[in-house]
């Protein structure tokens, strides 16, 4: 009897709470929120529901089925899709945004291998051809032109005790060398990205270089001839860059700033050619990261990779700095010491290259948990594709 009385009191309280908040009427729940026709539109709308809101599919079984059916319609990084090339994926990679082509330059631990394998971007990843790059250079990165006609390879050539930098342009169909740009002022190419307006290079002079008075600069080259268009200085210490929507996004660390959290920002520049003098920052923004080391721009999204020791997360931002998603992938966060090497667009997926270090130990006294380091660390690299770009 008491249980029934308590139940009546609880029902009365629930009814009062329901009347106060005015929930959806029954006709709206049945005709809208559970409608097979309208539910697909509601759950696939990016501005209505966030793609990473895990509470949505827990509402009811019908919402769960509709949520799973509309995953591809929402933009937001999701579970990892492994990519298998049939070999140890160690080396340099380049992709086309339409996922039509993938290039891989394997790099041996003992010696440089300058063969670039060109793959069809389909499901089977068939190897189409191999391009041989000059063996006297040590290549640091490869890139594909927006139209897929050229392969760009940045290199450094040893001049003891420092290095000089350059970039080569090869035809992607037959491997023929088209152009070569090289400089001898002991400047390092820290980051490179390719857009319809040209090849953008973040140049960093070392301590013994007289170029730009130790100031980082943005070098712009012609897509077809690699002729120098302009080179302009950047105020802050630059870490990485990405080109998208006619703008350059530069990861900056204003080391002179006393507040380090505010110093690590992304500056946005308009890369107008034919100008001289320092570049003028159009705007800048930051998120909750402590540091970043990789940038990638896809359509209207900027992807920012955080170093492993800072959390190893991926930030998804709008071009104006609004944080849309903070993605932490359990697959590589559970891996020993994962490091994100590169971010590349690949269709509606984000191509991520990582490596991790495994340290080998043997137990000396299992009861006390003691262990002893037994050998050299083992480095492994692996590739993942994140859907939802």
158-188 pLDDT, tens digit per residue, is 544 345 689 999 999 888 999 999 887 767 8
Residue 49 lies in a domain: no
Position 227 scores a pLDDT of: 93
Residue 70 lies in a domain: no
Check: CB of residue 104 under 8 Å from CB of residue 119.
yes
d(CA 241, CA 192): 7
Least confident among 167-176, 345-354, 357-366: 357-366
| CATH code of the domain in which 236 resides | 2.130.10.10
d(CA 343, CA 353): 7
CB atoms within 10 A of CB 183: 15
53, 309, 336, 384 from 330: Cα distances, Å: 17, 15, 12, 12
Structure tokens, 62: 């019908």
Residue 52 lies in a domain: no
d(CA 292, CA 308): 10
Residue 66 lies in a domain: no
What's the domain range around 227?
81-387
Residue 155 lies in a domain: yes
Q: Phi, psi at residue 244, to the nearest 5°? A: -170, 145
**Is pLDDT at 49 greater than 90 in this prediction?**
no
Give the distance, in angstroms, between the CA of residue 5 and the centroid of all CA atoms in the same chain.
Answer: 59
Least confident among 72-81, 98-107, 178-187: 72-81
Position 379 scores a pLDDT of: 60
Least confident among 226-235, 280-289, 375-384: 375-384
Residue 25 lies in a domain: no
Q: What's the domain count of the chain? A: 1
Least confident among 106-115, 157-166, 210-219: 157-166
d(CA 119, CA 38): 41
Check: CB of residue 272 under 8 Å from CB of residue 218.
no
Q: Phi, psi at residue 3, to the nearest 5°? A: -60, -40
Taking only the tens place, the pLDDT of each residue in 146-155 is 888 999 999 8
d(CA 88, CA 381): 7
Residue 349 lies in a domain: yes
Longest dimension (CA), the chain: 93
Helix residue ranges per DSSP H, 238-329: 260-263
- pTM score, two decimals? 0.75
345 bridge partner residues: 350
Strand, coil or helix: what is 166? strand
The alpha carbon dihedral of 152, 191, 105, 347 has a sign of negative
Check: CB of residue 83 under 8 Å from CB of residue 385.
yes
Taking only the tens place, the pLDDT of each residue in 304-319 is 988 876 767 889 998 9
Instruction: Tell me the CA end-to-end span of the chain in Å, nearest whole number.
Output: 58
Question: Average pLDDT, stretch 196-205?
Answer: 86
Helix residue ranges per DSSP H, the chain: 2-21, 26-28, 36-44, 61-69, 260-263, 330-333
Position 159 scores a pLDDT of: 44
Nearest to 43 by CA among 26, 27, 60: 60
Position 103 scores a pLDDT of: 92
Position 211 scores a pLDDT of: 46
Strand, coil or helix: what is 153? strand
Taking only the tens place, the pLDDT of each residue in 238-286 is 888 999 888 889 988 765 444 455 568 898 988 764 455 567 788 888 8
Average pLDDT, the chain: 76
CB atoms within 10 A of CB 1: 5
In the chain, % of residues over pLDDT 70: 68
Least confident among 141-145, 301-305, 357-361: 357-361
Q: Residues 248, 93, 190, CA angle at the centre, nearest 5°?
A: 45
Residue 381 lies in a domain: yes
Structure tokens, 353: 């290259």
The packing angle between helices 61-69 and 36-44, to 10°, is 60
């Amino acid at each position: 009897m008491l249980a029934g009385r308590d139940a009546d009191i609880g029902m009365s309280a629930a009814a009062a709470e329901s009347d106060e908040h005015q929930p959806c009427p029954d006709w709206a729940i049945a005709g809208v929120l559970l409608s097979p026709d309208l539910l697909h539109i509601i759950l696939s709308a990016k501005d209505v529901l966030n793609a990473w809101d895990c509470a949505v599919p827990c509402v009811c079984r019908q919402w769960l089925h509709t949520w799973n059916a509309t995953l591809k319609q929402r933009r937001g990084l999701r579970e990892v899709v492994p990519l298998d090339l049939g070999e140890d994926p160690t080396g340099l990679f380049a992709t086309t945004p339409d996922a039509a082509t993938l290039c891989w330059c394997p790099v041996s631990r003992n010696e440089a291998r300058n063969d670039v394998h060109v793959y069809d971007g389909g499901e089977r990843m068939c190897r189409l051809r191999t391009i041989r790059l000059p063996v006297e250079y040590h290549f640091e990165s490869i890139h594909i032109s927006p139209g897929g006609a050229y392969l760009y390879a940045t290199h450094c050539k040893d001049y003891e005790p420092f290095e000089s930098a350059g970039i080569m342009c090869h035809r992607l169909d037959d491997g023929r060398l088209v152009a070569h740009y090289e400089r001898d002022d002991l400047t390092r190419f820290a980051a490179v990205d390719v857009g319809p307006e040209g090849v953008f290079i973040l140049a960093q002079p070392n301590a013994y270089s007289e170029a730009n008075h130790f100031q980082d600069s943005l070098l712009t080259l012609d897509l077809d001839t690699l002729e120098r268009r302009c080179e302009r200085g950047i105020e802050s210490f630059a870490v990485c860059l990405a080109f998208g929507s006619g703008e350059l996004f530069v990861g900056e660390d204003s080391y002179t700033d006393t507040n380090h959290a505010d110093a690590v920002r992304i500056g946005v520049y308009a890369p107008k050619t034919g100008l001289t003098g320092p570049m003028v920052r159009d705007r800048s923004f930051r998120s909750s990261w402590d540091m970043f080391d990789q940038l990638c721009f896809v359509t209207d999204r900027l992807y920012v990779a955080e170093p492993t020791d800072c959390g190893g997360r991926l930030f998804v931002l709008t071009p104006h700095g609004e944080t849309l998603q903070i993605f932490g992938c359990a697959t590589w966060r559970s891996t020993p010491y994962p490091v994100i090497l590169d971010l590349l667009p690949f269709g509606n997926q984000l191509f991520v290259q990582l490596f991790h270090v495994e340290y080998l130990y043997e137990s000396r006294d299992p009861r006390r948990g003691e262990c002893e380091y037994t050998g050299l660390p083992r480095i492994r690299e692996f590739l993942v594709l994140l859907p939802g770009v």
